[in-house]
A and B are shown apart, each in its own frame.
Chain A
Amino acid sequence: MIEQLHSDQPWLSLLTFAPLIGALSIILRRMMSRTDENGVIVDPKEAAQIDTNARRIALGITSLTFLVSLGVYALYDSSFAGYQLVEEVPWLGGGIKYKMGVDGISILFVLLTTFIMPICILSSWDSIKSRVADYMIAFLVLETLMIGVFCALDLFLFYFFFEGSLIPMFLIIGVWGSKGTKEFAGITMPSRVYAALKFFLFTLLGSLLLLVAMAWMYAEVGTTDIKVLQEFEFGAGAQKWLWLAFFASFAVKMPMWPVHTWLPDAHVQAPTAGSVVLAAILLKMGGYGFLRFSLPMFPIASADFAPLIYALSIVAIIYTSLVALAQEDMKKLIAYSSVAHMGFVTMGIFTGTKQGIEGGLFQMLSHGFISGALFLCVGVVYDRMHTREIAAYGGLVHRMPLYAFLFLFFTLGNVGMPGTSGFVGEILSMVGAFKVNSWIAFFAAFGVILSAAYALRLFRQVMYGELTKEALMAIPDLDRRELGSLGVLMLFALYLGFNPGPALSVFSPAVDLLISNYDAALAGGGR
């Protein structure tokens, strides 16, 4: 049984749709401006004014949303295991409701989302110069959708947010992505368009099977309420197919090897803030999906398919780490390292042990801060030099000591250095894996070594050596805004690294409940 506590006030809806209010106000402001027949705003002063306003509104609203999410967290009872702050409103009828709620698994992802967004807006402050208002609208809409994913307690509603988040991200990559062209299937297109399409179609293809599975479950159970579905016992045969359908969707989103190829393209082409959101939050939706759906709804299939997950995770950890070693492009390197780190997450989650699952959750949280910060770091030099090629840099430590320090910190966090949050997640998921099968942990440990190799290589080539390149001679160090964003992220990564207890205690009741249901289902299924 999963209990749920209803809320008198629609706090989660308020939180989810708050960014949308900002987006609407920017749209209204933009529509009120006078434009000529080509849609260009007549008065350049007014255009600049609109852009500035858009930035301010976006920052204000995302910060406000963060405050609201802190308020929600204050209302959240972290000792209660089931769903809290639940809201239910009839929607489509026939068993499909608008139902929101959070539990220990989702609440911290909501906070992560609302926390990362103001940083994204700040990082785009100067670097986005064209169509600023539209850019801010896209990000605000995206924030609504992302919070919605983590708060939805109805599978249909979840799918709505999950798929809906493709739209703004597609536009962000396609409109504000970087330059260059790509030849594909005989068509020459800008490479940002190629990346946007690949991102969209990969994710769409993956999640369409989820749609069919969802239709089947709806036909079978008569509702898409997540709580009811989690309590419903699907037959072992049906579980297998349902699990595979859900797996297709979440594996692409995660992304797991071998369906990860969209990620490096998307990361490279996306603007800095887009990469940050992608790495810090969108990837987490896959892991969240595994924990919310695959494990609790299809426990027997999850146990049966766990070896497959282990194998894919190990391949991801070792293979993509090796691929990362060979990268010439900073963003691509970090993208591949993300795939490797997500390997730890999937491995941990499907061990079905407390350490493994909490490790997976913690790793996702920590990766949100650290990889987000690394993409911000790349953004810092990209804004200055407009190249992401590793070879174009070298010796930056002489000109940018502050930057070098922060970059080093996040590099070590990425490697999993004790004292950073990266360490806690990795060690916990490895412990979880070790309990199930020591060989899995053995192979996964290679990932730690390899990640040190590629991350430190990146750091060495960019930071150390003599500053010989002419273009780099005058490169300025971090400004206040960059320092602020990276500094805050560093504090969080340090705090979680030294004191993982509070976060783990938030996870703990929900994870305990999940595991006890999981074990009971396996025992009931004769295993």
Chain B
Amino acid sequence: MGIFETLSFALPELVLVIGAMALLIAGVFLGDGSARQISLGSVVLLLIAVILVIFGPGAPAAALFDGAFRIDAFSDFAKVIIFAAAAVAILMSDRFLGGEELGRPEYPVLIVLAAFGMSLMVSATDLISLYMGVETQSLALYILAAFNRDSRRSTEAGLKYFVLGALSSCLLLYGASLIYGFTGATSFEAIAAASKTTESNIGLVIGLVFLISGLAFKVSAAPFHMWTPDVYEGAPTPVTAFFSAAPKLAAMALFTRTMVTSFPGVIDDWQPVIALIAVASMAVGAFSAIVQTNIKRLMAYSSIGHMGYALIGLAAGTATGASAVLIYMSIYVAMTIGAFACILMMRRRGGMTENIADLSGLFRTNMPFALILTVLMFSLAGIPFTAGFFGKWYIFVAAVQSDLIWLAIVGVFASAISAYYYLRIIWYMWFDEPAPAFERDVGPVLRLTAWASALLMFPVLVIFMGPLRQAAENAAASLF
């Protein structure tokens, strides 16, 4: 493949990188007051990237740069959601861009760069390009977490994230080097071939465990989840909204691709590890969230639990499992963005409030808001009549098909326990005496995002789940 043809496949990424750099330069010339314009430009960039991915040179699958990256239905599926989620995250920060917290042109540019890193991640088919993608993403995220540099909590969150993230990168690199040492290859395809022929290779397995640990950190699965609540709570809320959506999907897609394409031969070795991580995550998500009073921390634990469910699909290790992961993650991204839009709407005179108790009686003071949040909470809990249920359903089907019935049973019990804290939010909103009302003027973006997310969960996806399932199935099929 000639260089121009190769680059034509990488067009969305090229647009993002070149555009981001141009915006960065423009930001320097225009000064701090230009945050709004720059963010608008970033959103346009991301939308162009989405369009390029959808209507791009639609070869079914192509290996680029000597097999370091691969463009296929799987990466396309993930990229569309990642770019869209990043664009929404930038738009949702709109209110904050004028203020002190985030009012700098670098903010949207960093999100674009992070999205670029994520798109490398979901396309990576080589340990080196995998690491490159992960680091590109992470470096941007570290800065974003600490973006409100005058706030102690934000700085602390960024530092914590950076130190622990660096540690996880070490684990990942160490694992990658062991795998390279024992298989003699870095490309997924070659590793898969080598691991098939090598008799249960203890060095490879140790390397694999390190690699899994590193990746588990990125998806914030237990027991590598410690950073999540602190970072979620400390980072500025629009940043948290971004953190909880696109990076999770990217990391999970990367995780899935790595596991099923490079280690199918040693599935018996990694399946129990992933299953264990899934169980631990679901347990942490279910139990730790019960006692939280801060809604951002609650969402952090909730996301840990959700990663546990998605990992069940990965543990299945089949095409059904991979498509279940994609379905689960895309629904998760849509609902978590909506939930954070709601959290961002929790404003009273004097700024943001983050206590769950502040939602008391919301149903009486602001019915549309309460309805939206109710739908989203039921969806997060996975109760039927919301799309969240479909995600769980396909995950459990995948688990059962791979004879992991016990994992599915653990999953359903974890979801019953976690239903309690989602119900608690609903009970505050509906059953309790009203707290002072929130500000009504929240801007159109947040309101629209929240509405769109809630309407997607019910009824749009409930009726039109078929196409999403089909797309996810096609995407997953391209891995096998």
Q: Which residues of A contact B (CB under 8 A)?
A: 30-31, 37-40, 90-94, 131, 134, 145, 156, 159-164, 166-167, 170-171, 174-175, 190, 192-193, 196-197, 200-201, 204-205, 208-209, 211-212, 215-216, 218-219
Contacts and interface: CB of A to CB of B under 8 A. Distances in A.
A238 to B, nearest CB: 11
Given A92-B469, A159-B384, A209-B409, A190 B415 contact: no
B412 A201 contact: no
Contacts of A40: 364
A91 B365 CA distance: 37
26 contacts: A38-B437, A92-B390, A94-B473, A156-B393, A159-B384, A160-B389, A162-B384, A163-B383, A163-B384, A164-B384, A166-B383, A167-B383, A190-B431, A192-B431, A193-B427, A196-B427, A196-B431, A200-B419, A208-B413, A208-B415, A208-B416, A209-B412, A211-B393, A215-B397, A215-B408, A219-B401
A39 B366 contact: yes
B385 interface: yes
B469 A160 contact: no
B434 interface: yes
B7 interface: no
Contacts of A93: 466, 469-470
Given A166-B383, A175-B430, A200-B419, A91 B412 contact: no
B448 interface: no
* Among all A-B residue pairs, the 8 with the closest Cβ atoms: A208-B412, A164-B385, A163-B384, A215-B396, A219-B401, A39-B365, A160-B384, A93-B466
B202 interface: no
A163 B405 CA distance: 21
B420 interface: yes
A192 B434 CA distance: 17
Contact of A201 (B367, B401, B416): B416
A213 B479 CA distance: 28
Contacts of B389: 160, 163
B465 interface: yes
A170 B424 CA distance: 12
B466 A211 contact: no
Interface string B354-382: 00000000011111100000000010000
Interface in B384-410: 384-385, 389-390, 392-393, 396-397, 399-401, 405, 408-409
Interface residues of B, number: 40
Contacts of B397: 215, 218-219
Contacts of B367: 30-31, 39
A97 to B, nearest CB: 10
A31 B405 CA distance: 46
A209 B416 CA distance: 11
Given A40-B364, A212-B400, 18 more contacts: A39-B364, A39-B365, A39-B366, A91-B465, A156-B393, A160-B385, A161-B384, A200-B419, A200-B423, A201-B416, A201-B419, A204-B419, A211-B393, A212-B396, A215-B397, A215-B400, A215-B408, A216-B405
Contacts of A31: 367-368
A438 B416 CA distance: 41
B400 A197 contact: no
A171 B383 contact: no
B430 A219 contact: no
Interface of B: 363-368, 378, 383-385, 389-390, 392-393, 396-397, 399-401, 405, 408-409, 412-413, 415-416, 419-420, 423, 427, 430-431, 434, 437, 440, 465-466, 469-470, 473
Contacts of B416: 201, 204-205, 208
A212 B409 contact: yes
B302 to A, nearest CB: 17
Nearest to B385: A164
Nearest to B392: A211
Contacts of B466: 90-93
Contacts of A134: 363
Contacts of B368: 31
Nearest to B414: A208
Contacts of B364: 38-40, 131
B385 A39 contact: no
A219 B316 CA distance: 13
B279 to A, nearest CB: 15
A92 B396 CA distance: 16
A90 B405 CA distance: 28
B393 A38 contact: no
B423 A197 contact: yes
B419 A212 contact: no
Contacts of A166: 383
Contacts of A205: 413, 416
B163 to A, nearest CB: 37
A40 B466 CA distance: 41
A216 B431 contact: no
Contacts of B420: 197, 201
A215 B385 contact: no
B419 A215 contact: no
A175 B409 contact: no
A167 B378 CA distance: 9
B384 A212 contact: no
A190 B384 CA distance: 27
A215 B393 contact: yes
A212 B409 CA distance: 7
Contacts of B470: 93
Nearest to A205: B416
Nearest to A131: B364
Given A160-B384, A190-B431, A212-B412, A219 B437 contact: no
A39 B437 contact: yes
Nearest to B407: A212
A218 to B, nearest CB: 6
User: Which of A31, A37, A161 has the largest count of B CB atoms less than 10 A from its CB?
Assistant: A37
User: Which of A37, A192, A204, A215 has the largest count of B CB atoms less than 10 A from its CB?
Assistant: A215
Contacts of A131: 364
A164 B383 contact: yes
A128 to B, nearest CB: 15
Nearest to B365: A39
B430 A174 contact: yes
A358 to B, nearest CB: 31
Contact of B400 (A94, A145, A175, A219): A219
A39 B416 CA distance: 33
Contacts of A163: 383-385, 389
B181 to A, nearest CB: 39
Contacts of A193: 427, 431
A39 B434 CA distance: 11
Contacts of B365: 38-39
A92 B470 CA distance: 9
B434 A38 contact: yes
Contacts of A209: 409, 412
Nearest to A91: B466
Contact of A212 (B363, B408, B434): B408
A420 B183 CA distance: 80
B89 to A, nearest CB: 29
A197 B383 CA distance: 14
B2 to A, nearest CB: 40
A208 B473 CA distance: 25
B463 to A, nearest CB: 8
Contacts of B405: 212, 216
A248 B434 CA distance: 38
A134 B465 CA distance: 29
Contact of A174 (B384, B408, B415, B427): B427
Contacts of B473: 94
A416 B27 CA distance: 83
Contacts of A219: 397, 400-401
Nearest to A177: B431
B427 A197 contact: yes
A215 B366 CA distance: 39
A90 B464 CA distance: 10
